[in-house]
C-alpha cells in the first residue's frame, strides 16, 4: 500500500534532492497518520543532541490529547529509502511502523529529568525502552501479540518484559506498534496461552495500553 501511495518514486532513480523532498512528504504523511490515531501532539519534543543513527537517542514526541495520560512516539524508524541500519522495520501487520508507549501520567513540561515526579519516572523508563526496542526492530521482526525480555545485563532495563500489539487502524500500510511493559508472570502466561489472551486480560483490567507498573499483575 505504501508503494501504491508513493509508487512513482520507486520507478526511476532519483537525485538526492528529490529523495530529500520525497522523505519530507513521507514524514508529513506519517505525521498526519499518527495524528489521526492519537490526536494532536504536544508542542514539547525530546530532542537528542546526537543522532539516533550516530549512536545517540531518538527524538521523542508526546501525544496527550487522545486517551487519558500521554502517548510517547518515535518518528525516525520509518523512511521511504531506508536508514543507516537498513530498511525500515515492518511486520505481518504493517509495511512501515513507528513505536508508541503510554503512561497514565499527564505530561509535565520541563520535568522530564526529575525522577521525583511520577510522570518523569514513567517517561524516563519509556524513553529507555523505546530507544532499545527501536534498535532491535531493525534486527528482528516484531509482530503483534509477541513478547520480549531483556537480559539482566542491560543497563536500566535489564530483566524487563514487554508485549507488542498493533495500535489503531493502518493508514496506507503505515501504523503504530504498541509496546507495553508487563510483569514476568504475565509474560509467562502469554508464552503458555498466547499473547492475545494476555492482551485481553490487560484490557479487561483497564491496564491496556499503559506501561505503568504501579499495578497488580493480571495473572
For residue 60, the model assigns a pLDDT of 96
CA–CA gap between residue 26 and residue 20 (Å, rounded)? 10
Q: For residue 149, with 0-12 CB atoms within 10 Å meaning exposed, 13-18 middle and 19 or more buried, which class applies?
A: middle
With a CB cutoff of 8 Å and minimum separation 6, the contacts of 206 are none
**Residue 46, helix vs strand vs coil:** strand
Place of cell 497514565: 104
Given this model, what pLDDT does residue 159 score? 95
Q: What pTM, to 2 d.p., does this model score?
A: 0.90
Give tens-digit pLDDT for 7-34: 554 545 778 788 889 989 999 999 999 9
**Cβ count near 187 (within 10 Å):** 20
pLDDT mean by block of 10 residues, the chain; 219 residues: 54 74 92 96 90 91 96 94 84 96 90 70 95 95 96 92 95 95 98 98 98 97
Per-residue pLDDT at 215: 97
* Helix or strand holding residue 96 (H, E): strand 96-103
Q: What does R_g of the chain's alpha carbons equal in angstroms?
A: 17
In this structure, the number of other CB atoms found within 10 A of the CB of residue 151 comes to 8
The beta strand positions in 13-159, using DSSP E, are 45-46, 60-63, 70-74, 96-103, 147-149
Q: What is the pLDDT of residue 14?
A: 73
| Cα–Cα nearest to 63, from 98, 34, 94 | 34
| Residue 144 contacts residue 195 (beta carbons within 8 Å) | yes
Q: Which residues contact 14 (CB under 8 A, 6 or more apart)?
A: 22
CA atoms within 13 A on the CB side of 173: 17
pLDDT at 76: 94
Q: CA 1, CA 6: separation in Å to the nearest integer?
A: 9
3-state secondary structure of 53: helix
- pLDDT score at 109: 75
Amino acid at each position: 500500500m505504501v508503494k501504491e501511495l508513493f509508487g512513482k518514486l520507486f520507478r526511476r532513480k532519483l537525485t538526492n534532492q528529490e529523495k530529500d523532498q520525497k522523505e519530507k512528504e513521507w514524514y508529513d504523511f506519517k505525521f498526519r497518520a499518527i495524528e489521526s490515531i492519537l490526536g494532536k501532539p504536544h508542542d514539547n519534543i525530546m530532542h537528542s543532541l546526537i543522532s539516533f543513527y550516530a549512536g545517540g537517542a531518538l527524538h521523542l514526541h508526546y501525544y496527550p490529547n487522545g486517551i487519558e495520560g500521554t502517548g510517547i512516539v518515535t518518528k525516525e524508524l520509518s523512511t521511504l529509502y531506508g536508514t543507516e541500519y537498513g530498511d525500515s522495520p515492518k511486520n505481518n501487520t504493517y509495511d512501515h511502523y513507528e513505536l508508541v508507549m503510554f503512561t497514565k501520567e499527564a505530561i509535565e513540561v520541563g520535568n522530564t529529568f526529575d525522577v521525583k515526579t511520577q510522570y518523569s519516572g514513567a517517561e524516563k523508563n519509556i524513553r529507555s525502552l523505546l530507544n532499545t526496542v527501536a534498535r532491535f526492530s531493525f534486527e528482528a521482526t516484531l509482530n503483534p501479540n509477541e513478547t520480549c525480555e531483556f537480559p539482566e545485563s542491560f543497563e536500566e532495563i535489564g530483566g524487563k518484559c514487554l508485549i507488542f500489539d498493533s495500535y489503531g487502524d493502518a493508514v496506507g500500510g503505515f501504523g503504530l506498534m504498541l509496546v507495553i511493559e508487563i510483569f514476568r508472570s504475565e509474560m509467562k502466561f502469554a508464552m503458555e496461552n498466547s499473547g492475545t489472551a494476555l492482551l485481553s486480560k490487560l484490557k479487561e483490567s483497564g491496564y491496556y495500553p499503559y506501561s505503568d507498573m504501579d499495578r497488580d499483575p493480571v495473572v
